[in-house]
Amino acid sequence: MIEVLLALAIGGLVLTAATSLLITISRAWAERPATRDAFDAHVNGVAHFLTAVLEEATLPILNRSGDQAIDLQRPVGYSDSEDPLIHFYMREAPPLLVWPGGPASRVHCYFQFDEGDGLSFLWFSELQELEKNDEGRLEPEDEDDLFKTLISPFCSQVFYCYYGEADDGPDDIKEWEILEGLEENIQSGKYRIPAFVKLVFKWEEENLERTITIPIKRIAPSGIEEEPF
């Protein structure tokens, strides 16, 4: 129990520090002329923030249909013809996610990328009024009930990195593949979560890339994989 509490406390401090860094860098960008150093700091701050957030992802309290802390889902308002989004759940959201009820908690987040707007989080809290969808998961009744928080307006491209094929065996030769969209199994129609996400940031003529690990397997302080509640 002490190890769990200690891990939660350390995780909260890391997440708060990452959020503070991102906010400070964004504020500095707005208050002074943009420079290459400011752009580098912004990109590094976003990468650090996203890494810290994904490391704090855990299994949902109400939606227990999956067994992974990070998966692929379509938020309310998305049709079956649209690709799902990377989804994760946090018991305590970073200070960047604020709603009318105060600091957000028990939050479901989705990575959303738009070429014109950049990288954002779509999110909702389990404390909102929710209803079950066709898959049995709780979500807001309408897409207007989703909150949207901009993470970086300079994110211009997103790539998904996969190692080998989904049905590869332990003795198969595997290669890295970088795709512009999520990998889909044509026969089953199911999408595969990537091992990494590569983000490309653009400012004027400068391009910077950062790779974010998707920590699908969650290790508990005891050294074993986290189990569902």
pLDDT at 177: 94
d(CA 110, CA 97): 12
Q: Which helix (H) or strand (E) holds 214?
A: none
Question: Could you tell me if residue 229 is inside a domain?
Answer: no
Q: What is the pLDDT of residues 189-214, one digit of tens each?
A: 889 999 999 999 999 889 999 999 99
User: What type of residue sits at position 163?
Assistant: Y
Q: What angle do CA 122, 124, 126 make, to 5 degrees?
A: 155
Question: Could you tell me if residue 227 is inside a domain?
Answer: no
pLDDT at 170: 79
Picking from 72, 61, 66, the residue whose alpha carbon sits closest to that of residue 126 is: 61
| pLDDT tens track, the chain, 229 positions | 444 334 444 444 445 555 554 555 455 555 555 677 888 889 999 999 999 999 989 888 766 555 688 999 999 999 888 999 999 999 988 888 888 777 788 999 999 999 889 999 999 999 899 999 888 888 999 999 999 999 999 999 999 999 988 777 878 888 999 999 999 987 778 899 999 999 999 998 899 999 999 987 654 444 444 444 3
d(CA 146, CA 195): 27
- E strand spans, 126-227: 130-132, 138-140, 147-152, 155-163, 176-179, 183-184, 191-192, 196-203, 206-213
Question: Could you tell me if residue 222 is inside a domain?
Answer: no
Dihedral sign from CA coordinates of 38, 150, 152, 12: positive
Q: End-to-end distance of the chain based on CA atoms, in angstroms?
A: 15
pLDDT at 197: 97
pLDDT at 228: 44
Question: Could you tell me if residue 7 is inside a domain?
Answer: yes
Question: Could you tell me if residue 226 is inside a domain?
Answer: no
Task: Count up the domains in the chain and report the number.
Answer: 1
What single DSSP character describes residue 70? E
Tell me which residue range forms the domain holding 10. 2-213
Question: Could you tell me if residue 218 is inside a domain?
Answer: no
pLDDT at 229: 39
